[in-house]
Structure 1
């Protein structure tokens, strides 16, 4: 019996398989992966998400056609945004700690390899004495050179591996900070707002391809479809509230500003994702930026005010040039 389980916390897990039973071929074909730390097969990117019933159903069909009996235990319950983010922060911290420990082991291995290389070099004749062809020392001399060459390569490989492990550890250590940067927080707020608008279109009904001969009215969702949409709405509203609270805290701490059309205007400079831009126009929800201010060529990129992390007024820019 193969069992496919899904929870919001763990994701989609496949249990009951055995090495060599033929399930690996089916699972790989459907892009499932083996998790060494579980150990079990799992669906990538299924954690902190609702069950992907389409992909699960396809897998069940394929396994049954291959002669396996499959049971499903799918939990559609979702956790709060605060719980999800706390778990992600903890996983990031655990990963950073594990990678740092790995980096330390790699550095120790590199030091050992370098010491062995020095030992091999010390065994070579002083002054770079050439090999004496036909002398009784010839074979020993050649072996010493080969050993020194091999151990130098091992030392270089070990040092390269240590540097790579250190680099990955540093990236992992900064993962949470990047996730909670003001720019990323603003992006998550915008994403949640888009999802909420999309769900309300499903709940209220909408017109597709409006203004074209193919326009048609899509009625408001009813029955199970409406219930599902309402559950999605509650989830997205929870995410929106969470990230709005984070942004409010960042504004209070001075990590970003509370920008709007009221305090940003044409000719000002704004910092978006680490780059400064000159403002061509302040719109109700976004700013139009100059790609080339001298020629007054505007960019198609129009960030929302929440993505602005710094600001200089036109007066401040003029004063700085004096």
Structure 2
């Protein structure tokens, strides 16, 4: 439906919006982009509500909710105490001290917009008399490398912050313990409480202060230990993310997801599930395909750098039947070379350093081991020489 007054707002991406009405969720004037794959909209409160608010002397302004994959979902136009936060909090919106006047949906960056939460929040605001403008741009995003660099930077900031917290807690713990020692040094060793002595009340207070001080020292010590562990975890974030075996498993998972997206785009089933190829679905699948290809390329570059620095990526061409592969710190004879795994005697053998079908604790039981779990190779001849040298010495 076209707005007869020619005052319809414009979609930033597709031009003038159309006036629509819905019977359930959005009762009242709603402008929406005519493009079927676009979610941008403007919601106005009903004329009746506006009239009631005017009679009560209340004025409402315009709230804008924007989403891009680069910045996430942001709500602007609110002021402290205007009631907006209370209205949108049930719909995943939160506040940040670093962004006064802006609310946001947590963990919404680099992801598709949560249309359900956005529209529910917009309806709650509209019913309270606010005009709500929704702008969703799924095509504006950061590259995966930029997002990963930002995550590493924030991990470094957390490391500094938790290190400071740990140092402060340790200092408070030491101060509390020093206070306890100071009181204890003033009490003769083995001195009992003497109810009839004039110092009895002071002695009681001293013991209460010592007890409180020790509890405070212990609590602060636990805080220092906790923040130290948090700082350690944050400090190892980049190493954890770029660990080559872990990166290889991540690539395999992403490639499987990419194959599924490509099947859906061809109209095929993916593990028994099909997708109706509406314009919105096709657009979203295309974006996801692009993101997956970019992320896979990033992690392949990480693996290439690791190989240049000496890390060995084991592949089927590196093994033949009868070789030995180092897995979980022990050597297992290769029984079969598969595309993604090696078949070896049972990895439940806990005593043998070198496991063959003949000495396996579990007889003919076998296991398959993915190549990212392999950390060494020896041919049958090399293993025979190694065992002969070990037995002779």
Aligned ranges 1:303-322 → 2 under 5 Å:
303=370, 305=371, 307-308=372-373, 310-315=375-380, 316-322=382-388
Match of 1:182 among 244, 250, 261: 244
1:257 equivalent in alignment to 2:312: yes
Q: Is the 8 A contact 1:2 1:17 kept in 2?
A: no
1:296 equivalent in alignment to 2:359: no
Q: Deviations over 1:241-276 (max 9, x none)?
A: 11111111111111x3132111124453244xx666
Residue aligning to 2:341: 286
Q: Is the 8 A contact 1:8 1:50 kept in 2?
A: yes
Residue aligning to 2:210: 148
The structure that is helix-richer by fraction is 1
Per-residue deviation, 1:11: 2.1
Residue aligning to 1:213: none
Uncovered stretches (5+) of structure 2, i.e. residues with no partner: 1-61, 349-356, 389-393
Aligned ranges 1:121-160 → 2 under 5 Å:
121-123=184-186, 125-160=187-222
Residue aligning to 1:75: 137
Aligned ranges 1:83-232 → 2 under 5 Å:
83-123=146-186, 125-207=187-269, 221=277, 223-232=279-288
Aligned ranges 1:23-42 → 2 under 5 Å:
23-24=85-86, 26-27=88-89, 29-38=90-99, 40-42=102-104
Which protein shows a greater Rg?
Answer: 2
CA distance in 2, matches of 1:22, 1:55: 15
TM-score, length basis structure 1 = 0.82
Q: Is the 8 A contact 2:84 2:125 kept in 1?
A: no
SS in 1 for 2:189: helix
CA distance in 2, matches of 1:281, 1:184: 24
Per-residue deviation, 1:63: 4.3
TM-score, length basis structure 2 = 0.68
Per-residue deviation, 1:84: 1.4
Residue aligning to 2:73: 12
Tell which deviates more after alignment, 18-27 or 102-111.
18-27
Q: Is the 8 A contact 1:100 1:165 kept in 2?
A: yes
Per-residue deviation, 1:33: 4.1
SS in 1 for 2:317: coil
Q: Deviations over 1:211-255 (max 9, x none)?
A: xxxxx9x6994755434332322221111111111111111111x
Q: Is the 8 A contact 1:266 1:281 kept in 2?
A: yes
Tell which deviates more after alignment, 183-192 or 85-94.
183-192
Q: What value does the CA root-mean-square deviation take over the aligned residues?
A: 3.0
CA distance in 1, matches of 2:271, 2:163: 53
SS in 1 for 2:296: helix
CA distance in 2, matches of 1:209, 1:187: 20
- Across the two proteins, how many residue pairs are aligned to each other? 308
Q: Deviations over 1:10-29 (max 9, x none)?
A: 322334264582743652x3
CA distance in 1, matches of 2:336, 2:121: 52
CA distance in 1, matches of 2:312, 2:106: 37
Residue aligning to 2:299: 243
